[in-house]
Structure formats: C-alpha cells, structure tokens
Amino acid sequence: AQTVTQSQPEMSVQEAETVTLSCTYDTSESNYYLFWYKQPPSRQMILVIRQEAYKQQNATENRFSVNFQKAAKSFSLKISDSQLGDTAMYFCARYNNNDMRFGAGTRLTVKP
C-alpha cells in the first residue's frame, strides 16, 4: 500500500518559537492532494492546511505554512510563533484516486 510517513513521533517547542513537522509520502499519481490535520487533546480533528499537488505555490494559513517538494514527495508543516493551543497530534494525509492515507502522527507539545 502506498504510504505516508511521519518520522517524528513526538516534538516539543517553546512558546513563540518556530517548529517544522516532517512528512513524506508515496504515490504513483501526478495529481493528488495533501493535508495536515490537527487533533487537540480530547477534541475533534480539524483541517490545518491543504495543498493541491499541481499547484507549485506552497499553501499558507496564518501561522501555518507548508514546504511542498513534489519531486522529493515531501510535505512539511511549519508552525510559526507557536502558541499553547497548538499542542496537539498532527496528522499528514494524502488523497488520490479514492485512496486516503494518513501518517502515524506527530505529538507536538508547546511549552510555556
């Protein structure tokens, strides 16, 4: 099965600092979609950011941005000015051809 790999099971960052979460994926398709989802403790999972593979420009949502390297099949998430509310599990996901794959997740802790 084509997979999504998040190599960092856990990370921590000081409040107001910047942190980058890594994600690599596998696909044989030329067009696909990539996502970062956030699951705060005991709360519902929500979408952080979405990237369409045919768009070369990296997606940005406020303090969240991605570094999308299509040739390397890499899709990292950068969180700037980290806040305590960013503490959560973060899942990278890839969708193509009715196939949705999630990574194992990275548990991020923001320390005061």
Footprint on this chain of other proteins (rule: CB under 8 A): 1, 4, 6, 9, 33, 35, 37, 43-47, 50, 52, 91, 93, 95, 98-100, 102-105
CB atoms within 10 A of CB 28: 8
In whole angstroms, how close is the CB of 35 to other proteins at the nearest point?
Answer: 8
Q: Shortest CA distance to 73 belongs to which of 21, 32, 27?
A: 27
Identity of the residue, 26 or 81, whose beta carbon is nearer to other proteins in the bound complex: 26
CA–CA gap between residue 100 and residue 92 (Å, rounded)? 11
> Looking at beta carbons only, is 17 or 99 nearer to other proteins?
99
* Min dist. Cβ of residue 65 to other proteins (A): 18
* Cβ 102 to other proteins shortest distance, Å: 4
Distance CA 94, CA 103 (A): 9
CA 84 to chain CA centroid, nearest Å: 18
What is the three-class DSSP state of 84? helix
Is 13 or 104 the residue whose CB approaches other proteins more closely?
104
Q: Which is nearer to other proteins, 37 or 68 (CB)?
A: 37
Per DSSP, the three-state class of 26 is: coil
